Amino acid sequence: MASSHKLILEAMEGRASRVPVWLMRQAGRHLPEYLALKQKYTFLELCKTTEAAVEASLQPIRRYNMDGVICFSDILVPLEAMGLELDFNPGPVFAHPLRSFKDLDRIQDIDVKARVPHILEILSTLKAHPETQGKTILGFTGAPYTLASYAIEGKTSKDFEHVKAWMYRDKSGFLKLMDRLADLVIAYILEQKKAGADAVQLFDTWAGHLSREDYRDFVCPSTEKIIAVAKENQLPLILYCNGGSHLMPEMLSLKPDCLSLDWRMSLEDYCLKIPDSIAIQGNLDPSCLYGSKELVIQRTLKLLDFGKKRGRYILNLGHGLLPNTPIENVKAFVDCALKS
Amino acid sequence: MASSHKLILEAMEGRASRVPVWLMRQAGRHLPEYLALKQKYTFLELCKTTEAAVEASLQPIRRYNMDGVICFSDILVPLEAMGLELDFNPGPVFAHPLRSFKDLDRIQDIDVKARVPHILEILSTLKAHPETQGKTILGFTGAPYTLASYAIEGKTSKDFEHVKAWMYRDKSGFLKLMDRLADLVIAYILEQKKAGADAVQLFDTWAGHLSREDYRDFVCPSTEKIIAVAKENQLPLILYCNGGSHLMPEMLSLKPDCLSLDWRMSLEDYCLKIPDSIAIQGNLDPSCLYGSKELVIQRTLKLLDFGKKRGRYILNLGHGLLPNTPIENVKAFVDCALKS
């Protein structure tokens, strides 16, 4: 029988009875039942078909019984709420990328309910679902810089040529875009909360490519705005910045409720720098799950030891679960926390 | 008239009269004269045709007059010296990747002179060339972990699934491979020295994806071995680990002559941690060169201010020069140092 406590929320408040666990990208390609579901839909159709997305969100819960249920979606979906047309081929594609200040005219007024109703239906269905009772329902979104990166490049990029060219040539225009994206993210996560999200995670997948100076100048203002509104609205927020170990001082200054650390940030080092008031989530290298079950257990127990001593700790990976990860290793990882 | 001093070597020894400068990937696609040359050869042909590679190496010198001449080649070329067949399509491809311990049998005895003679011919031609007099001739190679990553994945990878699976499932086998790659790198850089390299740079492009623990266990032993031999042979060595800001304590323990820092490592922070005996190279974000000329000059002068105060400093980018970089900005960057 599942506990009726929402352990992830409790851990963020420092009062959980054990370390809770969930995994970034826990729903998806490592599960045969997901691959079966995926045969009937394209990725975007799956994101937009409530019943199927709810099923994809619940699949990992049935198999592993982790403490967090994250809605099946994509970090870029919110861009559709301002009228940018998203496609996948197989990576994300925007046919008409934003390239300069004048392109901001093409951005439409934000309307989450009208343009991306499915994300709200998925969350409210998950919230009411018998299989999620006692679990924390997690909403999520790409953070402004990551949204900007895709909206400007039009696709996944290695060098972010167009993003950087804009950033370095038109600082005020770029900051204007970032501010509009902050407003988008705010509208999006507040609607997610109304629909049933207990907490949200902000994924800043690409901000780790920035220097400290550029992160401070170009990213902090919009993220700060989002975090302030989340706090005003009692919406617990987890900030994740992939490859951002060098940005720790700046991330701490943003005072998120929880920092999700990638595996390059050694917990022993970083916990000393992170004040007790900020919860820590993470941070096993997802590729460790390609190793032996013994290695998975050994490294996970080390994280749990740290987490139990530290408090305000949520077990997770340092990045998304990888496609070919063996199921038995995911189970071993989750079980370590369930038994903690 | 060029100075007859080799400023990069002098900066590494702390006795340069001004800050020297070169750029990672200074030869290549941002130059129209390179694109013209490239029409006659595939990338691999260009690496293996001495006359053409010498021409490609000299092109940036003619345009910018930087202090370092790096031989035109690829970080993976040394793998051919142990019999692994390299191709480009357009990224590097190994048709028969190494996937486990038993594949080590396919590795042949190292023979740099017989299997990759062109790299030595390019270096000796550059050394004797009138246009390089007074300049530092730089050899280079991929570091063992980066060589292993390509040899195991068979191509550029996002998640390094096969590398990590091997690493985590067969530690001793993986370390054996790393040790053989250290021997390869040693043979390769010593031959480069004999052919004319004044110093070499070790590129560890992918090691920044590792946690500190894994870098210590899997990478440090082979890199330590290489650095020890380079020291014994009075071959100045620059260590570059992309995205490795979290690995600073480990990199310092390796005591390279010079650390090449990427732009995510703030010089103000890191110079405090790096002992004066280790030279620092870097670290402008190469995408800053997409910005205005004023921005380039402003940020470069800031680096130079730091470098002049600190000493043992070489101006460079934090990663390779990007393909569409405007020539006038490269020139502005180099000129800042030439006039320093």
- DSSP letter string over B25-78? T-SSTT-HHHHHHHTTS-HHHHHH-HHHHHHHHHHHHHHH--SEEEPS--TTGG
Tell me which chain B residues have a C-beta less than 8 angstroms from the C-beta of A213.
266
Report residue B144 as tokens.
Answer: 């063992």
A4: pLDDT confidence band, cut at 50, 70 and 90?
Answer: low
CA pair distance B221, B244, nearest whole angstrom? 17
Q: Quote the mean pLDDT of chain A.
A: 95
Nearest CA to B132 among B193, B239, B55, B17? B55
Cβ contacts (< 8 Å) between B169 and chain A: which residues?
Answer: 290-292, 295
Please list every residue in chain B whose beta carbon sits closer than 8 Å to the beta carbon of residue A246.
Answer: 245-246, 264-266
Average pLDDT of A99-103? Answer: 91
Query: Residue A290 is nearest to which of B168, B209, B324, comparing CB atoms?
Result: B168
The confidence band for A1, taking pLDDT boundaries of 50, 70 and 90, is: very low
Judged by a CB distance cut-off of 8 A, whether residue A240 touches chain B is no
- The torsion region of residue B328 among left (phi > 0), alpha (psi -120 to 50) and beta comes to alpha
Cβ contacts from A onto B, under 8 A:
91
Is A291 in the B-facing interface, judged by CB distances under 8 Å? Answer: yes
Find the mean pLDDT for residues B227-244: 97
Nearest to B287 among A159, A287, A292 (CB): A159
Q: Stretch A217-230: mean pLDDT, rounded?
A: 98
* Test mutation, A153, A156, A212, A290, chain B, max B CBs within 10 A: A290
Q: State what percent of residues in chain B have pLDDT above 90.
A: 93
Q: Are strands B279-284 and A237-241 parallel, antiparallel or unpaired?
A: unpaired
Comparing alpha-carbon positions, the chain B residue that sits nearest to A165 is B290
Number of C-beta neighbours around residue B32 at 10 A? 10
Residue A93 forms contact with B (CB below 8 Å)? no
Q: How many CB atoms lie within 10 A of CB B339?
A: 8
**pLDDT in the model for residue B11:** 97
User: Does A2 score more than 60 pLDDT?
Assistant: no
Secondary structure class of A271 (helix, strand, coil):
helix
* Whether residue B2 has pLDDT greater than 50: no
| End-to-end Cα distance, chain A | 17
pLDDT band per the 50, 70, 90 thresholds, residue B4: low
* Choice among A64-73, B103-112, B178-187 with the minimum mean pLDDT: B103-112
Query: Of A100, A164, A302, which to mutate for an interface test with B (greatest number of B Cβ within 10 Å)?
Result: A164
Q: B interface mutation test: which of A161, A168, A268, A293 has the most B CBs within 10 A?
A: A168
Interface of A with B in 254-283 (CB under 8 A): 263-266, 269
pLDDT of residue B3 exceeding 70, the answer is no
- How far apart are the CA of A123 and the nearest CA of chain B, in angstroms? 30
pLDDT surpassing 70 at residue B249:
yes
The DSSP secondary structure of A16-40, one letter per residue, reads -SS--B--TT-SSTT-HHHHHHHTT
Predicted confidence band at B85 (pLDDT cuts at 50, 70, 90)? very high
Domain chopping of chain A, boundaries: 7-338
CB B26 within 8 A of CB B56: no
CATH tag for A7-338 (out of 3.20.20.210, 3.30.470.10, 3.40.50.10800, 3.40.50.150): 3.20.20.210
Q: What is the mean pLDDT of residues A183-211?
A: 97
Contacts of B298 in chain A (CB under 8 A): none
For an interface test with A, the pick among B149, B168, B261, B271 (most A C-beta atoms closer than 10 Å) comes out as B168
C-alpha separations of A182 from A7, A82, A221 in Å: 29, 12, 9
To the nearest whole Å, the CA of A119 is away from the closest chain B CA by 28
Residue from the list B167, B264, B291 with its beta carbon closest to the beta carbon of A169: B291
Indicate if the pLDDT at residue A278 is higher than 50: yes
- Look at residue B34 in the predicted model and tell me its pLDDT: 98
What mean pLDDT comes out for the span A15-35?
96
pLDDT tens sequence across A134-188: 999 999 999 999 999 999 999 988 889 999 999 999 999 999 999 999 999 999 9
Is a pLDDT exceeding 90 seen at residue B269?
no
Please state the φ and ψ torsions of residue A93, each to the nearest 5 degrees: -135, 130
Distance between CA atoms of residues A188 and A178, nearest Å: 15
| Average pLDDT, integer, range B306-321 | 96
A340 pLDDT above the threshold of 80: yes
Q: Is A293 on the interface with B (CB under 8 A)?
A: no
Residue B272 has pLDDT above 90, yes or no: no
SS3 A125: helix
Confidence band, pLDDT 50/70/90 cuts, at residue A284: very high
Q: Is the pLDDT confidence value at B1 over 60?
A: no
Query: Distances from the Cα of B272 to the Cαs of B269, B276, B310, in angstroms?
Result: 6, 9, 10
pLDDT digits (tens, 9 = 90+) for B205-222: 999 999 999 999 999 999
Characterize A133-152 residue by residue with b for buried, 16 or more Cβ atoms within 10 angstroms of its Cβ, and e for exposed: eebbbbbbbbbbbbbbbbbb
